Structure 1
């Protein structure tokens, strides 16, 4: 219990004015002071849920299923392991098999799960960093289609890109804009949209005891003005028949119900609410009269969260459409270069096919999602797809992301690292082999059954090819 948690009296009085009648303010305050349960999501791009359960059993980790996400689990480790080895330094995390993600934050992507099934979709994540929901969407899409992940903060774009690499995501394009531009530059381009809006963060006090330090209704109102711009822009960017999920990690109706009502009032007859009362068993406990999910900390012992889902019923004219200026810096890979790349990965790894189109820029070889083709000139991107190679005078040097995204398809030149070898690898050291090898060229390294990167066979060792920005320090993988 955190008795030092700062909860302003005027915030409590405000909460009392909209707290549902079946909930008690004393319970709300009590749960705000409780430590937040750790939760993780299995990254099914790299590991199955069953394999994760088996791995937890072998490690002595205690898990409990999160009811709204079949890939999500509350997780407990022993006090000794917690003290000795941060979960971010475990092999399951380093290999990208799990993402440490608060349980409530798994809800917004789950509201799109059904819509993402079937044919590949073009999806927008308006405010994507640090990447928990983006990587969850990519997994729900099975790395197919196109997922544009936008982030306004330049420093957070780097964190987002690093998480996409770790999780083996291949179908994503990154952009760095105020999310309000999408309605004008990409009108009706997206099948589905997630707007997890910047907010006052009232629901996050269980992990951030200073979340309410600068709280005021005036600040709520200012933030809501930005949210209204974002939700209108997102609706313009949505195709007719598509869905828009709006979410926040705050509690106030000013940033939640009132923003949703602004959307409904702005496009009468063109938008309808999709009720979330059947999203999962027990969802009705947090469902509002409108059909939104208003998750209070005491309902599911989680962070506070708000989720709303809308369907666009018809085309909506936008008189403010704009066109990007400037030339696109990539061009389709020449046939000769593409053939060389295809032969290289086939001969070295047995990779016979891959999804996407090869593009080049200077010496870089990139793999773009097929669905990106028609959207390449719409906006400027920070990056599209993955960097798979770099040309040099003797051919193409393969890059890290080729291994992390397609390594599971390799039929030869793969190597499963032991714990001690994995520690060497993630610390940027060459991997020591017990016996000399006659193998040549690149090798895809795996950990926990998941591909984590490239190395190069060199007799008694594997030369490390881990990018410098991914090198880790401190105690890794083993705690005993």
Structure 2
């Protein structure tokens, strides 16, 4: 889509409203649609530091100033083809879209909900912040989108997630005042993404905002009711529509008097909320608006709210035990690869559960929630075969650097990594493997990529067909 066509496809009713909203800034706003869109990635700081990432990344990146682990990259780069991406070291995300999760202060050990989580950009950020402790419930009402969400959480190595495919109303029944932190990135009219996605502009009508605002108001009340006293709720949209932004926050504050707006972190390009676009409450200035003529990204709206009261960190730990057969074969496998830790922490046998022939590592917080539709509870470790345990790809990606001894670590630029990701058998030179034979973890610069079986200098590829590049 050329620069001129970007403006031509913008609906006239949308432009008229934006002119009224922005006044003297309108022409500058319109000019932003003639500028190229920006591309970004967010580093998985639960696996790698930003400093180490900058040393290893094989293509040019520059820091995103409003997100400490975000980077711009140029349009001609293909970062999804890099082994670092397949190792879960970063997530591709529009730069402004990184802001909501970055503005919700998540601490290890908390229970966190991402209510409308697919495809996983914000859920992966929340999961990384938990560092394998506590519980992340990532939900999406669409089954197909929930599958994409699960895949991205697995790619990022999130071991303590519970991926649900439920209606928000059902979750609200199940989890009254349960979560320490909730992110509601609400379904919206997407006006902030018109520069990025032409189809959104073509499908836009003023009536859509009315219907979406009704849905948002249901969701935000349900979110507030699932929040513990002292907990934080971050509401975000990628639209400029006042009805969906300040209007929805105004509704929450009117309906739930125990919720209060908090100041968000300041950045020179952030614009404050406008009380007149809501119910006139002066506290609405604490909201943040992101406009493309003021920031090097697309449009967003954010509001951070706190529920009155004192937070309670009491959590019920997982308490399951593997059957003897599971423990026998899994223990032999863990000994073979020389497991030291899982995600940097001691392996906890009280979290191992077997269902049929599949073995899972449950989150450290009890997730025995009956009656909920879910895709995954915890980490899928692998399968019990006849007289052996076969590890899964999510298990490989949940391992951190130095978690196991039996590794083969190759430079990021080594072409064998690309061949491995395509499913090919690799030749391993003497001295490159820590062990002589058997299961090994293939790594890019020490960061796990997947499993293989080493036999006489040949690594038999165990990278699953469905994951191959």
TM-score bucket of the superposed structures, by smaller chain: 0.7 to 0.9
TM-score where L is the length of structure 1: 0.86
Structure 1 counterpart of 2:384, from 391, 396, 400: 391
Who is 1:161 aligned against? 150
1:196 counterpart residue number = 185
Q: Deviations over 1:78-131 (max 9, x none)?
A: xxxx2xx62211222222212111111111111212xx23x5001000111111
Distance change (3 Å), C-alpha of 1:357 and 1:70: same
> Which residue of structure 1 aligns with residue 103 of structure 2?
111
1:313 paired residue number: 308
- For 2:33 and 2:272, the matched residues in 1 are separated by 17
Take 2:394 and 2:256, find their aligned partners in 1: how far apart are those partners? Answer: 42
Contact (CA 8 Å) 1:138, 1:169: kept in 2 or not?
yes
Does the Cα contact within 8 Å between 2:100 and 2:236 map onto a contact in 1? Answer: yes
Q: Any residues of structure 2 matched to 1:244-393 within 5 Å, and which?
A: 244-268=233-257, 270-276=258-264, 279-282=265-268, 285-286=271-272, 288=274, 290=284, 291-314=286-309, 332-334=321-323, 337-338=326-327, 340-352=329-341, 353-354=346-347, 357-371=351-365, 373-377=366-370, 379-393=372-386
Take 1:305 and 1:38, find their aligned partners in 2: how far apart are those partners?
16
Q: CA deviation at 1:217?
A: 1.6
Q: Structure 1 residues 395 and 120 mapped into 2: Cα distance closer, same or farther (>3 Å)?
A: same
Pair 1:127-2:126 in alignment:
no
Question: Is it true that 1:99 corresponds to 2:81 in the alignment?
Answer: no
The 8 Å contact of residues 39 and 101 in structure 1, kept in 2 or not, is answered as yes
1:180 pairs with one of 158, 169, 184: 169
Judge conservation of contact 1:92–1:448 (CA < 8 Å) in 2. Answer: no
Q: Distance in 2 between matches of 1:151 and 1:136?
A: 16
Report Cα offsets for 1:64-83 as digits up to 9, x if no partner: 32222110111237xxxx2x
Name the counterpart of 2:80: 88
Report SS of the residue matched to 2:361. Answer: strand
**Counterpart Cα distance in 2 of 1:374 and 1:149:** 13
Match for 1:11 among 9, 14, 20?
Answer: 14
For residues 285-319 of structure 1, the C-alpha deviation after alignment (integer angstroms, 9 at most, x for no partner) is: 4455520011111111210000111111159xxxx
Question: What is the total number of aligned residue pairs between the two structures?
Answer: 440
CA–CA separation in structure 1 for the residues paired with 2:240 and 2:368: 36
Residue 454 of structure 1 corresponds to: 451
Q: Which runs of 5+ in 1 are unaligned?
A: 316-329, 473-480
The aligned counterpart of 1:415 is: 408
Asked if 1 retains the 8 angstrom alpha-carbon contact of 2:186 and 2:237, the reply is yes
- Counterpart Cα distance in 2 of 1:236 and 1:133: 21
What is the DSSP-based 3-state SS (H/G/I as helix, E as strand, rest coil) of the residue aligned with 2:71? strand
Tell me if the contact between 2:270 and 2:294 (Cα under 8 Å) persists in the aligned partners: no
Deviations 1:126-147 (A, max 9, x none): 1111111111111122232110
Runs of 4+ in structure 1 off by over 4 angstroms are 286-289, 435-438
Give 3-state SS (helix, strand or coil) of 1:134's partner. Answer: helix
1:53 CA displacement? 1.6
Find the counterpart in structure 2 of residue 50 from structure 1. Answer: 51
2:279: which partner in 1? none
Answering whether residue 442 of structure 2 is matched by residue 441 of structure 1, we say: no
Mapped to 1, the partners of 2:439 and 2:52 lie a distance apart of: 28
Instruction: Return the TM-score normalized by structure 2.
Output: 0.88
CA distance in 2, matches of 1:250, 1:93: 29
Match of 1:11, SS?
Answer: helix
Do 1:296 and 1:304's aligned partners in 2 also have CA atoms closer than 8 Å? Answer: yes
CA contact (8 A) 1:350 1:412 kept: yes
Provide the residue aligned with 1:318 in structure 2.
Answer: none
Given that residues 246 and 273 in structure 2 are in contact (C-alpha distance below 8 angstroms), is that contact kept between their aligned partners in structure 1?
A: no
SS at match of 1:233: helix
1:231 paired with 2:230, answer no
**Displacement after TM superposition at 1:340 (Å):** 4.8
